[in-house]
Amino acid sequence: MNANRLSRITIEAGKCGGRPCMRGMRIRVTDVLELISSGASFDEILADYPYLEREDLLAAVEYASVQTSHAVLVTP
């Protein structure tokens, strides 16, 4: 885990419904992840969103990894 990279992810109550965003901007982590999962390359995303940086995209992927890595307890 890269704490410096993850510091690019911000959560503010009054912005995007308190969902994780990129560096305080109104682009949610989930927006970036949806673009990546739809097949958009980093270069395509950066061309369409010039205010984003490559490290932002890596931060979104890392944030998703961290959020999904915790154990889930299933009870019968």
Is 76 contained in some domain? Answer: no
pLDDT, residue 31, reads 97
Counted domains in the chain: 1
Cα 52 vs. chain centroid, distance in angstroms? Answer: 11
For the chain, counts of helices (H) and of strands (E) = 4, 2
The proportion of the chain whose per-residue pLDDT surpasses 70, expressed as a percent, equals 100
Is 11 contained in some domain? Answer: yes
Q: Which domain holds residue 31?
A: 3-67
Question: What is the C-alpha separation between 2 and 43, in angstroms, rounded?
Answer: 22
Is residue 11 scored above 80 in pLDDT? yes
Domain CATH number, residue 44? 1.10.10.10
Is 57 contained in some domain? Answer: yes
Is 73 contained in some domain? Answer: no
pLDDT, residue 70, reads 83
Cβ proximity of 63 and 55 under 8 Å: no
Confidence of residue 71 (pLDDT cuts 50, 70, 90): confident
Is 72 contained in some domain? Answer: no
Is 27 contained in some domain? Answer: yes
pTM over 0.75: yes
Q: How many CB atoms lie within 10 A of CB 32?
A: 26
Strand runs (DSSP E) across the chain, as ranges? 9-10, 21-22
Mean pLDDT value of segment 46-70: 95
Is residue 20 scored above 90 in pLDDT? yes
